[in-house]
């Protein structure tokens, strides 16, 4: 899940993607007429003390704080804080480094309350582990969108469900022009955070301009991450594949419906296109919040929940926001060779809805020949209501009914024998994890390879949001679940023990928004899934999205 800003895709008149001919260039020129907006690098001053910003809470949220039950959906009470935490239990001394978690943390401007979970301005939280000790800090990411809202006390950029209010028709027309150029799209990097191979740490969202470099030690905003290539475009996958040797991303093309698959070499800001996938159905690409890879292939999902320019232009959100459900367009999975860019398989699959892919790997016969690809995801039974379920009003007004849409570990099997259709089925009985499934992580050493364990958020019903942590064993088809009544856990992140041989030898880190308006860091044993340590925060933090691990010795 993420700040999923979608927009009309633009390309420059040079270096344009394959498949965009003269007529395509002409259409872009006529429709947009404005070159891609460049963003200048900005640096922010370091603030080493906590800043009290009690005004960050709107009247509605102040009532929530008094109620002390909805801290997960309440704006962070101050812009920044740092300090050492008291640890209950014992943190392994080998755990040395920083866990960073990114996510929306401020859901209003002045007295105006945002409507959706994904609208909030980004809050970066850091847990610094050193020799059994734990220091915590958080900072607001200094995006242009955040700074403009803070300075003017009003919304200035388009967020997931929010559009700046226009004083007159001319202002509305100007906003549309800025939309097509990308100038009015948010750079609010509130979705994920990744450590690049060269040591830079970048916070991301689905707008390309929302890529921001941060300091993993101080959490300060350093500068915009600007791509130096000429591929243009306004949106990309919020979850690129990032390892010590590669950075792979997907660039949806809304003009000539399809996807560009691009790689970026370590130490550079230049994307190099591996290849292109044309859409097989629908008037626009399916939403690509995330995607999986194997050792040799990039898997490109084509979901019937597709980007919709018409909905983007509306001042008020539709139930599917910037998207539209096109079941008649069907659903597909495409397999592209990393080395050649050639599409080696393209199959129709049952309709599906997913935010997050878990992992993928290649199936081989007894002679070592690849016969198919397995791709696992957190799948919502082709039910799009999960998007509207994440409106803040719904999350804050839960009456105790069981309203969380069902989810499962959806397993795609993509044959490599030229077949036209693939399969989608449940990898295990979804009752094992309460029929809730999202916010997943695995041992990163098993990325793109056969694997056994998934760490995710599940459900203890009745609930309106995932409220457990679950360790899923895909071999035995069983799950171990952690649950604390009334608490809302964020993504469980697995960190392997140095030198580990077993896949689950390590710890799982999560941050908990507690039922009494409090919060704490939680450390679970990766194998037994039992709690080994926790550390209380000075106050409860809002729900966060995705994280990464920065080892202490990382450059």
Binding residues, by number, are: 239, 289, 356, 546
Element (H, E) at 393: helix 392-396
Angstrom distance (rounded) from CA 363 to CA 253: 30
Contact 178, 184 (CB under 8 A): yes
What is the H or E stretch that residue 394 is in? helix 392-396
Is it true that the peptide bond before 430 is cis, omega within 30 degrees of 0? no
Exposed e or buried b per residue across 33-63, where buried means at least 16 C-beta atoms within 10 angstroms of its C-beta: eeebeebeeeeeeeeeeeeebeebbbeebee
Beta partners for 471?
455, 480
> Could you tell me the two tokens for 368?
């070592």
Strand partners, 378: 409
List of residues 6+ apart from 66 with CB closer than 8 A: none
Question: What is the rounded distance in angstroms from the CA atom of residue 248 to the CA atom of residue 74?
Answer: 34
Residue with tokens 């591996």: 274
What's the length of the chain?
555
C-alpha 243 chain-centroid distance: 17
Q: Residues marked as binding for Fe cation?
A: 239, 289, 356, 546
Strand 506-513 relative to strand 519-525: parallel, antiparallel, unpaired? Answer: antiparallel
* 468 close to 482: Cβ distance less than 8 angstroms: yes
């Amino acid at each position: 899940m993420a700040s999923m800003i979608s927009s009309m895709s633009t390309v420059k008149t040079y270096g344009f993607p394959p498949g965009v001919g003269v007529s395509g260039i002409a259409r872009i020129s006529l429709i947009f007429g404005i070159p891609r907006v460049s963003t200048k690098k900005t640096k922010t001053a370091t603030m080493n003390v906590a800043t009290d910003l009690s005004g960050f809470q709107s009247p509605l949220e102040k009532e929530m704080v008094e109620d002390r039950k909805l801290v997960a959906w309440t704006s962070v009470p101050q812009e920044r804080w740092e300090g050492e935490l008291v640890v209950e239990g014992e943190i392994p001394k080998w755990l040395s480094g920083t866990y960073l978690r990114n996510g929306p943390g401020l859901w209003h401007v002045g007295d105006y309350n945002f409507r959706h979970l994904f609208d909030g301005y980004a809050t970066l939280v850091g847990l610094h582990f050193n020799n059994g000790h734990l220091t915590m800090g958080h900072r607001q990411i200094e995006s242009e969108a955040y700074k403009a809202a803070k300075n003017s006390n009003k919304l200035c950029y388009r967020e997931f469900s929010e559009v700046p209010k226009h004083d007159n028709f001319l202002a509305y027309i100007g906003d549309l022009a800025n939309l097509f150029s990308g100038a009015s799209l948010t750079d609010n990097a509130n979705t994920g955070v990744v450590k690049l191979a060269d040591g830079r740490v970048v916070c991301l969202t689905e707008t390309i301009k929302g890529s921001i470099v941060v300091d993993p030690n101080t959490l300060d905003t350093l500068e915009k991450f600007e791509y130096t290539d000429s591929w243009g475009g306004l949106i990309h996958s919020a979850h690129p594949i990032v390892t010590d040797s590669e950075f792979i991303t997907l660039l949806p093309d809304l003009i000539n419906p399809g996807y560009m698959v691009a790689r970026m070499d370590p130490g550079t800001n230049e994307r190099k296109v591996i290849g292109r996938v044309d859409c097989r159905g629908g008037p626009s690409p399916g939403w690509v919040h995330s995607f999986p890879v194997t050792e040799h292939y990039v898997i490109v999902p084509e979901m019937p929940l597709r980007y919709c320019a018409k909905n983007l232009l509306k001042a008020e959100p539709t139930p599917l926001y910037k998207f539209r459900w096109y079941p008649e367009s069907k659903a597909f999975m495409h397999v592209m060779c990393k080395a050649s860019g050639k599409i080696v398989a393209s199959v129709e699959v049952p309709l599906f809805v997913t935010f997050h892919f878990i992992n993928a790997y290649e199936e081989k016969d007894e002679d070592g020949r690849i016969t198919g690809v397995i791709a696992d995801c957190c799948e919502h039974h082709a039910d799009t209501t999960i998007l509207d379920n994440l409106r803040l009003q719904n999350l804050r007004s839960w009456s105790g009914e069981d309203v969380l849409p069902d989810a499962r570990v959806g397993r795609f099997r993509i044959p490599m024998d030229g077949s036209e259709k693939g399969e989608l089925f449940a990898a295990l009985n979804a009752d094992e994890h309460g029929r809730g499934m999202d916010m997943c992580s695995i041992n990163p050493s098993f990325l793109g390879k056969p694997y056994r364990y998934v760490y995710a958020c599940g459900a203890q019903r009745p609930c309106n949001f995932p409220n457990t942590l679950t360790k899923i064993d895909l071999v035995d088809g069983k799950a171990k679940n952690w649950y604390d009544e009334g608490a809302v856990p964020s993504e469980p992140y697995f960190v392997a023990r140095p030198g580990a041989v077993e896949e689950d030898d390590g710890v799982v880190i999560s941050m908990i928004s507690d039922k009494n308006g409090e919060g704490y860091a939680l450390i679970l044993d990766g194998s037994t899934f039992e709690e080994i340590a926790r550390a209380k925060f000075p106050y409860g933090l809002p729900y966060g999205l995705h994280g990464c691990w920065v080892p202490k010795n990382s450059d």
